[in-house]
Amino acid sequence: MYKSIIEAPFIKGYARMAQEGYLKGWHERNGGNLTYRIKKEEIEEVTAFLDLSKEFVPIGATVKNLRNEYFLVSGSGKYFSNIQCATEENVAIIEIDDSGENYRIVWGLVNGGKPTSELPAHLMNHSVKKEAINGEHRVIYHAHPVNSIAITFVFPLESKVISHLLWEMMTECPIIFPQGVGVVPWMVPGGEKIAIASSELMKKYDAIIWAHHGVFCSGTDFDLTFGLMDTIEKAAEILVKVQSMGGIKQTISNDGFRELGKAFNVTINPDYLD
Ligand code: 2HA
Ligand code: ZN
């Protein structure tokens, strides 16, 4: 039994990831959001801290396969820079009801507030990932990393083009995101449209670039999800530098990528290797 709920490892891990993202410069002001689908055994260890008296309110999406699940979520308008030092003011645990249409806050946001404006996008993507890969993925992360945004002003907004360019920038990229990254054209954030567009692409990819906005990605745990964001952003940074030095003059061949896939026993999306 914990003295305080913020001693729970899943809350500590979440707060540490939020702080790392902030230190990377990916979370200006209230930018970005992070949600974690809490394991049964983790929520059981903190039930004494939960308040089950609040009313359920609509999610703005239906997520049947997430019914009765609990999520740790960032607060709307809250700053990532404050999550580690004042966790209970800036994040919440929410419970999804039995219909998969409503949620209620059971802990956190102690000075008031609501879950992230991107809650429908997060939950729809958790739903897709739970269905697609047997509940392995638990983390959905959205950030505003500079270079990943910058490249969406210059290169065609096509998943194949952007994925191939990012793979070329660092040899291990196609091992880390072998399917490539999806690309969503510019859309109003926080709405149903961006949630639906993202969840369609999340059936295929673990990461999506939202044009002129940021990156949205999914993973099994905090380290892997953060690592995916970090790898994409680093590749995008190299791409910005290469472009600034006059553009690509030599690169890794598609045969090279195929050899790499064999050596590391990873299927690199063959549709992107022609
Ligand atoms: O401010 O990043 O996309 C939170 C966001 C919305
Ligand atoms: Zn954003």
Domain boundary assignment for the chain: 5-272
What is the band of 1 on the pLDDT scale with cuts at 50, 70, 90?
confident
What is the band of 272 on the pLDDT scale with cuts at 50, 70, 90?
very high
Region 16-26: mean pLDDT is: 98
What is the band of 133 on the pLDDT scale with cuts at 50, 70, 90?
confident
User: Nearest residue CA, atom 1 of ligand 1?
Assistant: 31
Report the C-alpha gap between 123 and 199 in whole angstroms. 9
Closest ligand to C-alpha of residue 189 is: 1
Report the C-alpha gap between 155 and 214 in whole angstroms. 15
Q: List, for residues 60-88, the tens digit of each pLDDT value.
A: 999 999 999 999 999 999 999 999 999 99
**What is the number of helices (H) and of strands (E) in the chain?**
10, 9
Report which ligand 1 atom has the smallest distance to the Cα of 210: 3
What is the band of 39 on the pLDDT scale with cuts at 50, 70, 90?
very high
Task: Please provide the average confidence, as pLDDT, over all residues in the chain.
Answer: 97
> Is the pTM higher than 0.85?
yes
User: Nearest residue CA, atom 3 of ligand 1?
Assistant: 189
Q: What is the percent of the chain with per-residue pLDDT over 70, rounded to a whole number?
A: 100
What is the band of 192 on the pLDDT scale with cuts at 50, 70, 90?
confident
What's the CA-to-centroid distance between 64 and ligand 1, angstroms?
A: 25
What's the CA-to-centroid distance between 75 and ligand 2, angstroms?
A: 13
- Is 69 marked active-site? no
Buried b (16+ CB within 10 A) or exposed e, 42-53: bbebbeebbeee
CATH superfamily of 5-272: Class II aldolase/adducin N-terminal domain (3.40.225.10)
187, 201 contact by CB (below 8 A)? no
Report the C-alpha gap between 184 and 106 in whole angstroms. 33
CA 228 to chain centroid, in Å, comes to 9
246, 191 contact by CB (below 8 A)? no
Which residue ranges have their beta carbon within 6 Å of ligand 1?
30-33, 117-118, 142, 189-190
